[in-house]
Amino acid sequence: MGSGAALSLKDPQGLYLDWETAHWAAQDIDLAGDPADWAALDDGERQLLQFALSSLMVAEERISTQFCGLVLAQDDEEEGSYLATQLVDEVRHMQFYARFQNEVIADPAAIAAHVERARTVLSDPFRRIFDEALVEAHERLRLDPSDREAKVGFVTIYHMVIEGTLGLVTSHFLLGLLRERGLLPGFADGYGRIAADEQRHIAYGTWFLREAVAEEPALAQVVRDRLIELLPAVAESLSPPGDVAFEALGIDQGALSEFGLNALNRRLAIIGVSLQD
């Protein structure tokens, strides 16, 4: 995208105002038709969707608990107002996934129990992103909210890697599949709303990194380093474990990586960073 796209980015105040008009409630999504759809899936389809849902459940628990450091690092009240809405969004997403687990997949349980069960199907690369890189970046920022490099590193991991690549790829392909096949209409409705929230989050991350790099060009290397470090783990995290295969749902794994990298490169062009030195 060119400079016109960059100039059209909304600042935190604009994104906060968008949030005010985009309210939805996890408890209002109609899941009545989903249990029958879930029961009718064949084993391969159910295993792959269970892998995807487990990833989403653990991801939301992680990112909702590893965010307060960014709120503390706000540069002004407008940014702080927006960041507070994102934390609320993340908790709402976690509540929706837990409700889907309760009513469609498993017996009702506390969120922690759902997360613990979901973790059993996840890979080491997934843990590298969410349990190591994200937690380490958040702790560094929490200990010193004034550390600009720490804030840039955290936003790169959170908004560009997790939401802007891993999350975006998953939502694009999974929502497209569910809607095309008319499966799990309640989940598709809620997940579509979550994807819309995350587009707003990604817009904030793109805006912040563009501003930070323009103000201090050396920070482009921080963005580049974090991406190069974690993109291999992102690619591996998109691969289901063991005998579970994307073919069960007709998904081309190569298309996942291509879509994610193209979307990331478009945002990096706006930010003013290249993956090449």
The confidence band for 2, taking pLDDT boundaries of 50, 70 and 90, is very low
The confidence band for 31, taking pLDDT boundaries of 50, 70 and 90, is very high
The confidence band for 250, taking pLDDT boundaries of 50, 70 and 90, is low
Residues 6+ away with beta carbon under 8 Å from 237: 55, 123, 125, 126, 129, 166
Residues 6+ away with beta carbon under 8 Å from 228: 275
Taking the C-alpha atoms of residue 11 and residue 277, their distance in angstroms, rounded to an integer, is 28
Q: Let me know: does 248 contact 181? Beta carbons within 8 Å.
A: no
The confidence band for 165, taking pLDDT boundaries of 50, 70 and 90, is very high
Q: What is the model's pLDDT at position 198?
A: 96
Q: Does residue 69 have a pLDDT over 50?
A: yes
pLDDT tens track for 12-28: 999 999 999 999 999 99
Residue 259 belongs to what domain range?
A: 10-22+31-271
Domain holding 100: CATH number?
1.10.620.20
**Total count of domains within the chain:** 1
Within a domain: 151: yes
The confidence band for 228, taking pLDDT boundaries of 50, 70 and 90, is very high
| Residue with more model confidence, 24 or 114 | 24
Q: Let me know: does 152 contact 220? Beta carbons within 8 Å.
A: no
pLDDT, mean of residues 129-142: 96
Within a domain: 5: no
Within a domain: 277: no
The confidence band for 46, taking pLDDT boundaries of 50, 70 and 90, is confident
Q: Does residue 47 have a pLDDT over 90?
A: no
Q: What is the model's pLDDT at position 253?
A: 62
Within a domain: 3: no
Q: Is the dihedral of CA 64, 66, 69, 75 positive or negative?
A: negative
If you compute the radius of gyration of the chain from its CA atoms, what whole number of angstroms results? Answer: 18
Within a domain: 55: yes
Q: What is the model's pLDDT at position 277?
A: 66
Within a domain: 131: yes
Within a domain: 2: no
Within a domain: 120: yes
Give the CA distances from residue 261 to residues 101, 123, 165, 222, 246, in Å, rounded to whole numbers and listed in that order. 31, 21, 7, 18, 19
